[in-house]
Structure 1
Amino acid sequence: MKKLSIIMCGIFTILSVSTFSSFSQSNKIGVYASGKAETDLIVASSMANSMNARLYTTKGYSRNVLTEKDQIETLYVVGGPDSVPEEELKQLPVKKIVRVSGKDRYQTSIAAYKLLEGKTKEGKRVNIVSGIKLEDSVSASTSGVPTILLDIRSKDNIKEVSNLLAGKELVVVGGPMSVPDDLLAQLKAKRISGRDRYETSKAFYDEYNKDRTLAISADSRIRPTVMKANEEYLKGNGLVLKEFNLYLNGQKGYFPVYQCEKYYNKFSVDFKKVDSMKKREPSKLKMDLMIKIDGRRYEFLMRSIMDTNNPVDKEIAVRIDGREEVVLDKNDTLTESISQSFREIYMESTK
């Protein structure tokens, strides 16, 4: 059997804060950032959402490839020439390019904030995220609120941000490991966080996106989550990150990003049925396939779940959180549904 390997799927102008008095999709504007620079992407996503604009990344990192049919007239590029080279920008089919950047990721986020200041419907609200620990702070990219990266190691940066945002409603996204409590008090900010990135994502949605339709991303990587956040925001949806991973022989794999929500929804329904079935003590079987859904682990023998017609395995045992097992009937529709999902994922990874 093949090893299961799942792959996730010009004119240059100087930045002027007075470029626009307001933003709308009719302005035919876009936001562009490097697919490698996750910090720039988080800033770019909230910036794009605030502008009601589509987010694009450098070639090879996004399904949102910028082409002539997008009819983008003004493109805001988040990050300096080291992140997005000027030679690359000259090849893009846009009329005007505005680079939004500073000497580092922190100054770049400040430049983006200054461009947006007073021009978003969110008014005085500003998100503060750590420029070092990004797992929780990706939630900030799901809103249309300007986002500033904070260097918690730099007194100068903290002072600059405090002065710049005096009188604003500040929201720190992430726990004390990202932004310590004493710094939170110094900024006079509110904290939104949970036990992990998934709880933080849900808490952020409940606070600031609950008026929007809930959409789900089952991909925990930053770049595809940020891109999906922008896509959903423009549809009027708020995004929540759900935990959904698959492991073979202890090795973590990724689903194609465009399939994540589909399989998360399908497996969530199927495994709720598994949870309701009669349990037994765990056997001595050595499982090699595991799927994790919102903190709950389900383990299988791969050969049994991939081929329900295999006569060697008379039963399909599902081990739950390593403590108990459920036995599935090979002829049951639930067993076929789960098996079919795994087979589809396998075929996707071996095309």
Structure 2
Amino acid sequence: MRNEGLSVYLHVPFCAGKCGYCSFYSEPPEAGDVAAYLDALAAEIALWRGLLGPLSPRTLYVGGGTPSLLSPDEWGRLIALLEGLGDWSRLEEATVEANPSSLSDGLLNVWRASFFTRVSLGVQSLDDAELETLGRRHDAKLALEAMERLARSGLRMSVDLIFGIPGQTLRSWAASLRGVLDAGARHVSAYQLTLEPDTPMGLRSPVLPDGYPLYRYTQWFLPRRGFTQYEISSYAPPGGECRHNLAYWRQEDVLALGPAAWGYLKGRRYANPGTLDAYLEAAGRNFPEAKTAGERLGPRARGVEAAILSLRTRWGIDRADFAERWGVPLLKEIEAVLMAIPPHLVRADERSLALTPAGMRVGNAIWSEVLCLL
């Protein structure tokens, strides 16, 4: 029986070196690491194919790390391994992350010749001083050249940007936004800089500027260029939303592959071994914890989580759907919490409950109120 509607996330754990703000698991590859990783990935894919049967993925997202650090030949093998999961004929979207410093025409040709449809490019800024502050390995010129190369490839271009960088101004942020749109970006993810204590920048504890005016400007500017804010950090023209990310916000099943990848299957949230060494060791034992590791939430916790995830999006909580899945009593509790919040922050009608643009600017505080229902 074909498992349809599933999304797949694959983590590539290699990068040239840590950026100052990065808290995701990655490390520079040593000799033999990529080959060993691909061998372990082959074992993991065979395991899940045996457990779940042939899959028919709806979306695929390859993140990292820096997936574009792999060579075209290594990517050829990786794609062949993914094809072994099952039937890809119903795939709606496949995304791969890339950095300007390692994006090549060879990689773009490999991706375009397979099932990939879009590339998420980590531009982060088009200001050289800001890129240096972040510890990026490219400058604005290289980022613009990478976007030009990507635009010529025919693959859809999504761009990541960061605001709230030390020394950043509204003028420089506006220039970065204009620059990526002019270069052909059809999806923008705009993230406020946050620093985990174990990151290089976090250890230095720099003073971060107030991100509020930059976020508010983004909400003002991008809609004037035809982009809709469909999620707290995500903007795209109607129909250009990242379908894979929507799978998370809609609490749909996501199969996790690779070290440090997180998945969600039939109400169970789980994480793969957190380092390459641990992942290779687990592969040698045929991933004995694959079926049992993780956290299985109860119905109430899953319902509260579903509400918070829905409130991240412009569609919000569909009242009828939520009541059917999680019950009218829990819906009434959530309504009571949201109705106690200042009305300019929440949009409520007979069909749905959603945050307004102003509400999205203080989303963390609102989600915390809903979380108190647990």
Q: TM-score normalised to the size of structure 1? A: 0.28
The TM-score with structure 2 as length reference comes to 0.27
Q: Which has the higher helix share?
A: 2
Larger Rg: 1
